[in-house]
Structure 1
Amino acid sequence: MSATLKGPDSSQKLASLRDVLAFNVRTYRVKKLLSQEQLGFEAGLDRTFVSQVERARINVSLDNIEKIALALDVPAAKLLEWPKPLKAK
């Protein structure tokens, strides 16, 4: 039995572009009904790396942002866009 996919907390404060990337990766991953492991496989990255990205724990290279975007089938720039209702603190 697989766990229910849970999107990011919409009340989360996004203080940096790293936070925005984390929020957007998780949002798009959940919309595609992918686990972190499945996204990692599709992107050629480790599941733990995807987890660290989604928790804004690491700086991510442009190459890896591109891999994630391709796996999620979204333009890489979309992963770096501030969500409309959320503002930087």
Structure 2
Amino acid sequence: MRARALVAWNLRRLRVEKNLTQEALGLLAEREPSYIGRIERGRENTTVDTLEALAAVLDAPVSAFFVVPEPDVAAPAPLRAGRKPSSASKGARTS
């Protein structure tokens, strides 16, 4: 697995383990959420500074981005899609 793909795979794995969306991770790491998505898709060649910021939020060492997965390990499943219902919509009346 190439280094960029390895970082992408491990970033998604770590983010999903922490139950964070790309948006939440981006906000906490002070990076654009779309940038997080591009890293996870292997389309961005990120910096060590960004890896350090992401690792801090994910409570992981930077080396965790370079762990080679076992051949039979499935890719991390995505988080459940969609937004949580707002409290206003729960009590909304229909007329």
Q: Which interval holds the TM-score relative to the shorter structure?
A: 0.7 to 0.9
Equivalence for 2:64: 78
Q: Which runs of 5+ in 1 are unaligned?
A: 1-14
Q: CA deviation at 1:39?
A: 0.4
Shift of 1:65: 0.7
Equivalents in 1 of 2:21, 2:53: separation in Å?
Answer: 16
Which protein has the larger Cα radius of gyration, Structure 1 or Structure 2? 2
Structure 2: which 5+ residue stretches go unaligned?
73-95
TM-score with structure 2 length normalisation?
0.72
Measured in 1, the distance between the counterparts of 2:57 and 2:39 equals 14
1:26-37 equivalences under 5 Å are 26-37=12-23
Q: 1:35-71: per-residue Cα shift (whole Å, max 9, x none)?
A: 0000001111010000000000011100001111111
Moved over 6 A (4+): none
TM-score by length of 1: 0.76
**Separation in 1 of the partners of 2:33 and 2:39?**
10
- 1:27 to partner: Cα distance: 0.5
Match of 2:15, SS?
A: helix
Please give the secondary structure, in 2, of the residue aligned with 1:50.
helix
1:61 is aligned to 47
Which residue type is aligned with residue 47 of structure 1? P
Q: Give yes or no for the alignment of 1:19 onto 2:28.
A: no
Shift of 1:82: 1.1
Matched residue count: 72
